[in-house]
Amino acid sequence: MPTRLSIAVDLDYGLPEPADVLLQIAAAALPDQWIESEALDVWSDLPLAAVPGEEGIGQRCWSHAVGRFTARYAATLVVDRLVHPLHRLPPTPVRHLPGPVVGYLMPSRYCPSDKLEGFVRAEFAGLSGGALAAALTEWTARSLRYRPSGSTGTTTALDTFASREGVCRDYAHLLVALARAAEIPARCVAAYAPDVTPPDFHAVAELWLDGGWHLVDATGMASPAEIARICVGRDATDIAFMTVFGTAQLIAQRVRVDRLD
């Protein structure tokens, strides 16, 4: 059943020196989610310049400012997505993967999946395809404790595997790394979703199974049927909501996502 969402974002940062800023906060227009209305206002020294996001999903907006950088995004959108139970999806041999998907089998900066291959082989022997994906998701959800102070911006999936705690980004990184170690293509997704606590930008995983991408939230806070994608990528490097080429100081930030129906 379709879900209508209202999204409101306010960002307020201090920039002590002139800096270029790359924003990814606008929801993506996709076949399973469409925008009814939206507005993005950025107070910047120069006009915005938009470029496509990874895989052509969403957009990145270049800006430039000094002193104060503020941005406001408001949107109403509809999510209408058929969610398939993971455990019922058959495996896809890696040799049959489409070219653009193959890169999501490889280790990346925050998802060093090659370091987890031995664990996956030992812990999940005999499983494949969707059954394996479901088991990896359940293990991640069961093994980690959600703790806002449990990680930093440099925490990798391997660090999270050792500490067994973190925030949504850490859950997504670990699940993506485990899936890649299991020869299941996986990517990170920046998203909006209701019921996320505390309200903020959310990070989830997408796994490639049976010829398509399937959203998975190992934190259990968001239903795949209600997640609105912003952008996708290898890990947090690609999906950060704001990348500052310089220094920035947080003044205030607010993200609110509400169901309308």
Domains in the chain: boundaries? 3-80+241-259, 86-239
Residue 203, pLDDT score: 98
Residue 150, pLDDT score: 83
Q: Where does the pLDDT of residue 182 fall: very low under 50, low under 70, confident under 90, or very high at 90 and above? A: very high
Residue 6, pLDDT score: 98
**Rounded Cα distance, 115 and 148, in Å:** 25
Residue identified by tokens 């490097």 is 237
Residue 58, pLDDT score: 96
Residue 160, pLDDT score: 98
- Angle (nearest 5°) at CA 32 between 31 and 38: 85
Residue 166, pLDDT score: 96
Angle between helices 168-181 and 129-143 (to 10 degrees): 140
Region 124-143 average pLDDT: 97
Residue 47, pLDDT score: 84
Region 134-156 average pLDDT: 95
Residue 46, pLDDT score: 81
Percent of the chain at pLDDT > 70 equals 100
Q: Tens of pLDDT along 210-237?
A: 999 999 999 999 999 999 999 999 999 9
Q: Where does the pLDDT of residue 99 fall: very low under 50, low under 70, confident under 90, or very high at 90 and above? A: very high
Residue 218, CA distances (Å) to 97, 114, 124, 170, 172 in order: 24, 21, 17, 10, 7
Percent of the chain at pLDDT > 90 equals 95
pLDDT at 105 over 80: yes
Q: What is the pTM of this model?
A: 0.96
- What is the per-residue DSSP string for 53-107? -GGG-SEEEEEEEEEEEEEEEEEEEEE--PPPPGGGPPP--GGGS-HHHHGGGS-
pLDDT at 261 over 80: no
List 35's β-bridge partners, or say none. 77
Q: Tens of pLDDT along 26-49?
A: 999 999 999 999 999 998 888 889
**Rounded Cα distance, 136 and 173, in Å:** 12
Q: Where does the pLDDT of residue 121 fall: very low under 50, low under 70, confident under 90, or very high at 90 and above? A: very high
Residue identified by tokens 């924003």 is 23
Q: Tens of pLDDT along 52-61?
A: 999 999 999 9
* Mean pLDDT, the chain, whole residue set: 96
By the 10 Å C-beta count (0-12 exposed, 13-18 middle, 19+ buried), 86 is classed as: buried
CATH number of 3-80+241-259: 2.60.40.2250
Residue 88, pLDDT score: 94
Q: How far is CA 16 from the centre of its chain?
A: 29
Residue 105, CA distances (Å) to 141, 177, 203, 208, 243 in order: 22, 9, 19, 10, 25
Answer CATH for 86-239 from 3.20.20.70, 3.10.620.30, 3.40.50.300, 3.40.640.10:
3.10.620.30
Residue 44, pLDDT score: 83
pLDDT at 168 over 80: yes
- For residues 39 and 1, the model is more confident at 39
Count CB atoms within 10 A of the CB of residue 190. Answer: 27
3-80+241-259 and 86-239 agree in CATH topology: no
Please answer whether residues 66 and 17 qualify as being in contact, where contact means their C-beta atoms are separated by less than 8 angstroms: yes
Residue identified by tokens 């994906």 is 133
Q: Where does the pLDDT of residue 149 fall: very low under 50, low under 70, confident under 90, or very high at 90 and above? A: confident
Residue 3, pLDDT score: 96
